[in-house]
Every structure is written in C-alpha cells, then in structure tokens.
Amino acid sequence: MCGRARCSLRVDDIPRACGVNHGPIRTVQIDRYRPSYNVSPGFYVPVIHREHQGNDGGGGGQETVLHCMKWGLIPSFTKKTEKPDHYRMFNARSESISEKASFRRLLPKNRCVVAVEGFYEWKKDGSKKQPYYIHLKDGRPLVFAALYDSWKNSEGEVVYTFTIVTTSCSSAFQWLHDRMPVILGDKSSIDAWLNGSTTSGFDTLLKPFENPDLVWYPVTPAMGKASFDGPECIKEIPLKTEENNLISKFFSKKIPGNEKETNEPIKGSPKESNHPEPSGSLKAEQEENVDLPSDSEEKRSKKFDSFPLRPEGDKKCGIKRDYEELESETKPSPDKIGKLELSPRKKNSNIGKLEMSPLKKKSNIKTAGDKQSTLLSYFGKKP
C-alpha cells in the first residue's frame, strides 16, 4: 500500500525523471501543483501520460502530457451529486485491475506514471505505528505505475484523478509491509507502460521491485497528520529500542546490598549469581553495576552501614555459674530495696523506662528466713 509520498520536485525535473528527455510536452493545470514532503490522497500531483494526436484518437502520433491531477481515483460513472472520496481508491491492486470495472476499462488508454522522491509506510507494533521513509539510495526519483480517469461534478467541472498500482512486497520489504507500489525502474519499463496498446506484457512490469538500492529509515510519527509538512518529515529519528534495553539492564542487574535483605534469587542472565565471587576487587564490582547511578549506590551503602547486626559493646552471656556469682555479688540488701533502680541493661531492653514502685519491689523480694506473707503484714506498724 502507498498512502503517503514526498513530491517536492520542480516541474522541469518531472519529465526527465520519467525518461522524457526530448519532444514537446503539453502541460495541463500545472499551476495547481504545490510541492510537498507529505502528499496524501486529495492532493494535486503531476503525472505523465501519452495522448494520440487527432480527434479520432487514431493515427497522427502521440504527445506527452504533464497533467496535474488529484490523487485518489473517482470513476467517471460516479454520480454528480455524490461527494467524492479520494481515500476510497488511492491504490489499485495489480492482481485485480483487469477484473474490476473501475480499473479494467482504464488499462487500454488511461495509463500514466507518477514521479516522487520517496514514499512512507507504517510498521505496526501493537497499538503503535512507526512510519518509515522509503527512497533510492542515490536520491533518484521513484516512478510509479498509475491509472487515471475523469469525472464531472455537479457544477460541471471535469476533475481528473489517478490511482497508484500496487503489488506484493519485495523480499527485503516483507518485515515492514505486505504491499508496495509498482516501481518502474528504467526507461524501457516506463515506455512499455505508457505506450503499450494492449494489456499483454504488463504482467512482467507489475512485479515487486527487488533493487537493493531501495532503502528506508524511521521518521517522526508527526508526519501521520496530513497538515505536517516540510523537511522534518524525512528527518531520520532514533528508535527507542536502545533506551528500553538500558532500562531492562537496570532492573536485571544484581544490586549490592539487597542480598542482605532477602535470600530469594534475582532473575537475570546465567552469568549472574546470588553468592559473592571468591575473587575480584572493588573496581570490578563497580564495573558490573556501571548502569546504576553513582549517587544511588552511595546512599544504598550508607543505608546498610547505619544498621549494624549487633551493638559494638554487647557481649555474649556467660554460663549459668558465672551468672549466679554475679547475682550474689550485686544483690542489694533488704534496707535498700526501696531505692532499687533498673540496671542499665534492663533500661536498654524492651521494658523501656517503666520502673517498679518501692512497695511492689519490696513485696516481690524474699529472703531465706521469710515466711509466707499474710494480709496483716501489709498493715503492720512502721519501726
């Protein structure tokens, strides 16, 4: 399919691009031509066709005509009151032009060629479409095979329109689209299409263009709008695949420090491991994580350094015998029970700053000679 093209050629260059280097050329409505980098159906585009001289259309030779027509065929049998739709027949499939009534009657005498610098095609990627600009490597214009017709509207104006003939895509073009315009690559094929009196022999012309000089590159999606025009339409742009690869690398890399938080394996390449390598320097580790920002790595290292696994001054408890000796040496006398405070170790424990009242402390401490406490012992007189 061909629905957008670049036609910014000068009027004088169009006949030469179509292999017409000698003889008189008659121009028709050429003043309607406006060079554009983004031509779409409904635009006026110059085409070359041949007409027989004389009123009967017989002998008398042929003349070359440079005629500015609208892209998008409107068949002559269309009703005058009908609103023309140039997007309905802007392309004609070469496999069916000899069968459909709209094209079959045009093959004998209404063949023409269109010269453009290049055309655009879209690559579908899910819901997104990326346009590509297709052109010849050496900058020569492309010449398309086309058919034209005339139609008279309700105002009595005769409107000339054309359609571009398409065929199956070339082997190098299959990744982008399944159709491409019929490209007439040399003067002999152009003359055969314009001068041929019968439809026999056209099958050799309506084939995919396999010339390796046909190249393409991505352009801005903004040219999808028909109002977008200018050199920016054909400016090559970088695709976002490289950026996506960097993002995927960022998340697939093993982040130092996360191994302390979780034991789950990190999905990545087979070369990545969840265990530290026995050899290697700090420099090698930095090279492995070259995709990580330097400031993020520094903050990550400070974060885990600020949470030690065990306080520095903390020591392991001794055996039970050492604990009993320590308890007997530090056990307070009964007269100091009221002034008992929690030890520093207990202050740091999960109990917090909660302290026991003197009365509760006194009641909980028992000596070897004490008997079972009674209710009267709590109401006894003070000494």
The catalytic site residues sit at 2, 121
Which runs of E-coded beta strand occur in the chain? 4-7, 25-28, 36-39, 44-52, 62-71, 91-93, 111-116, 118-125, 128-136, 142-152, 158-168, 179-181, 214-218
Contacts 24+ apart (CB under 8 A), 21-25: 23/63, 23/64, 24/63, 24/64, 25/64, 25/65, 25/66
Q: What size, in residues, is the chain? A: 383
What residue has token string 């050492």? Answer: 322
Torsions phi, psi for 193 (to 5 deg): -75, -40
Q: Beta strands 36-39 and 4-7: pairing type?
A: antiparallel
